[in-house]
Structure 1
Amino acid sequence: MQKVLIIGGTGRIGQSVAKDILSHTDAHVIITGRQVGQTVADKLGSRATFQALDLANYEGLKSAVAAADLVIHTAGPFHDRNAQVLQLCIDNGVNYLDVSDHRSFTNKAVAYREDAIANNVTAIINTGVFPGISNSMVRQDVEALDQAEHIHLSYVVAGSGGAGLTVMRTTFLGLQNTFDVWRSGQWVSAEPYSKREVIHFPKPYGPVNVFWFDVPEALTLAQSFDVQTVITKFGSVPEIYNVLTWLTARLPKALLRKRSVIEFFSWGSYRCTEFSDRFTGTGVAMRSEVKGLKDGKPTTACSTLVVDDTAIAAGYGTGSIAQLILSGQFSKPGVWPVEASFPTDLCQSMLKLRGVNIEQQIFN
């Protein structure tokens, strides 16, 4: 029986990935965490076990990786993570996935591309929902055109998104620094949670305010496709969370870089969403718009997706690729973001298997 090691598997995202793999494969899943997690494993079923593991324990980590057929890294936030897990996978010839969501980690990971190719290891990064499924949506739209020029990718999350405290930390960590974005063929600096724009998402969201936000797609989409502009914007419902995040982003950066401040905002937001989730739900909507040329005419390809739970959607994104790797249907040695590696037809078939459809429109 194949073994899948999910690092950080006791968290919300890790559990969602585990559930998806257990539902769609015959693999045995090992979830890890620093604290006792056997209760979580018991809830997942007889093909799931818990293994205590601290990422700081190099020998323990090395042994766990070497015993697996596939390693999935879900232990965020990834802002300050090194690529040690990926390196161990490459050294031991073990395929690798992660749900990383910050460009600093993406840059560290892709530096191992040639090593992964040499060791015949398939390593796909940023595989959750956004990044992850969102990247596949953009790839689908780019492929619908003869020439893509402008990518606009937006997301809205209801309340906590069902994804737990770690995602709250990720949000506030993303407000600490300016970041580079690809505009008009050059890299320029953008302020987090700036340049408010109204995007019309499918029901039940409708028009929502979205803002510049630092996600790895802003980096990888510009590298994967020959386009002039890549815009990535994020918003929340209810609107009060956008207001509070915008105000937080305006605080002195030195203050936002203090761990105690990040923890204060993260816990405060998490407690608020525990209440508001009852009314807003925990879903996510994504909208990809790619402008360019088709048959010599200006054309726009637009894809949208709505899922009721953000954490479950992350499980779909990562679980889909895990299923295909375990079955031998997908292999691409190297370290790659989703849009540079995962074929559109495979993505669509895996999502449909999970009851999810990406809606696409083409118009002039």
Structure 2
Amino acid sequence: MMAGAAVSPNPIPPPPSFLPSIKPRVIILGGTGRVGASTAAALYRLCPSVHLVVAGRNREKGATIASKLGENAEFVWVNVDDIYSIQAALEGMDLVVHSAGPFQQEEKCNVLEAAISSKTAYLDVCDDTNYAWRAKSFHEKAVAAGVTALTTCGIYPGVSNVMAAELVRLARSDNIGEPERLRFFYYTAGSGGAGPTILATSFLLLGEDVLAYNNGKQIKLKPYSGMLTIDFGKGVGKKDVFLLNLPEVRSAHEILGVPTVSARFGTAPFFWNWGMEALASIVPANILRDKMKVGQLVRLFDPFVRAIDGIAGERVSMRVDLDCTNGRSTLGLFTHKQLSVSVGNATAAFAMALLEGGTQPA
């Protein structure tokens, strides 16, 4: 669901694993953002020997983040829209973590291309269907270059994919029926404290038709429609969630082989959901697909979102429900009090699996 590599007819040596005595060099693009900075902190906790390069456009913020991480960290200015800038930054790196979103409406995979060209392992936190599958189209090149490339390795998608895969695996191994319907439900209080990039992502997703699957057939639905009230358990309770176009839907259908799949998301306070519904219904889709115009909306709403975040907190919860043909249902549930911390932990865990040699082009 995440690997961007395919089977090669020629044997490929496994990627190197980095022992504690060796210092892997990791560059985090978008390292000055909430997700990137959280990933850097989590990765340093998991692997204190790692040499971290925090990369972005904000020199002052980047230098501050690097100094807090310690002597094994540094800041490098990088323009992710310039492939030559990326190529220069990747020189001598073992892994690049691409967290410089939003990924919606991006037509090129500059970082992935540069990673393959420089034979640098690659990982991203993409949450856009089109970008994720465009990245997967590079699997032949990645395999030929012997480069491990992972996409959609955040919390959702990312950990949610792993939860779904485990539910499906258990259902099939325990012979409790063939998986028939898989539903992803997500809740985040406010913006989750994840900053303007997440706000931009939310607005951009409102401009995309929702792709879902019903009995094996792909269907298109209106964004932020189809409300359901879902119980996320202790600490969160019942929340309203709405349809969004997310990449785990297609990967769960095509790779896990589940015929009916959908994903829904909701936030709090409740009036943010009203606002999202209104934007999806009133604002023309072409405006919501325009990154510059969405950027203007973000600047308009950001002060209000930050104010509400201070009250709402940033609790996050994911629930994955699997229904099988024999009528039996199972679910997986994850809840954390801070989205920014949990997404950093999730991304860092994927990065460690890669650095330790747990993945390879295959």
When normalised by structure 1's length, the TM-score is 0.87
Is residue 353 of structure 2 the alignment partner of residue 331 of structure 1?
Answer: no
Is residue 302 of structure 2 the alignment partner of residue 302 of structure 1?
Answer: no
Is residue 193 of structure 2 the alignment partner of residue 171 of structure 1?
Answer: no
Which residue number in structure 2 is paired with residue 101 of structure 1?
127
Superposition pairs of residues 268-307 of structure 1, within 5 angstroms = 268-293=300-325, 297-307=326-336
CA contact (8 A) 1:66 1:89 kept: no
> Runs ≥4 in structure 1, deviation > 4 angstroms?
258-261
Which residue number in structure 1 is paired with residue 98 of structure 2?
73
Is residue 73 of structure 2 the alignment partner of residue 44 of structure 1?
Answer: no
Superposition pairs of residues 179-198 of structure 1, within 5 angstroms = 179-198=210-229
Deviation (angstroms), 1:59: 2.5
Superposition pairs of residues 257-268 of structure 1, within 5 angstroms = 257-259=289-291, 261-268=293-300
CA contact (8 A) 2:28 2:98 kept: yes
CA distance in 1, matches of 2:99, 2:288: 24
CA distance in 2, matches of 1:197, 1:227: 21
CA distance in 1, matches of 2:296, 2:110: 29
CA distance in 1, matches of 2:324, 2:349: 29
Deviating more after overlay: 316-325 vs 69-78: 316-325
How many residue pairs match? The answer is: 330
CA contact (8 A) 1:153 1:233 kept: yes
CA contact (8 A) 2:123 2:149 kept: yes
CA distance in 2, matches of 1:266, 1:192: 19
RMSD: 1.5
Which residue number in structure 1 is paired with residue 259 of structure 2?
228
Report the 3-state secondary structure (helix = DSSP H, G, I; strand = E; otherwise coil) of the residue aligned with 2:334. Answer: strand
CA contact (8 A) 1:12 1:311 kept: yes
How high is the sequence identity, in percent, across the aligned residues? 30
Which residue number in structure 1 is paired with residue 54 of structure 2?
31
In structure 2, relative to structure 1, the CA distance for the partners of 1:88 and 1:264 (3 Å cut) is closer
Which residue number in structure 1 is paired with residue 83 of structure 2?
58
CA contact (8 A) 1:21 1:319 kept: yes
CA contact (8 A) 2:55 2:77 kept: yes
Q: Deviations over 1:136-156 (max 9, x none)?
A: 111111112022111011001
Is residue 193 of structure 2 the alignment partner of residue 162 of structure 1?
Answer: yes
When normalised by structure 2's length, the TM-score is 0.87
Report the 3-state secondary structure (helix = DSSP H, G, I; strand = E; otherwise coil) of the residue aligned with 1:43. Answer: helix
Deviation (angstroms), 1:261: 4.2
CA distance in 1, matches of 2:278, 2:355: 45
Give 1:142's match in structure 2, choosing from 159, 168, 172.
Answer: 168
Report the 3-state secondary structure (helix = DSSP H, G, I; strand = E; otherwise coil) of the residue aligned with 2:171. Answer: coil
Deviation (angstroms), 1:276: 1.9
Give 1:85's match in structure 2, choosing from 111, 120, 130.
Answer: 111
Is residue 151 of structure 2 the alignment partner of residue 121 of structure 1?
Answer: no
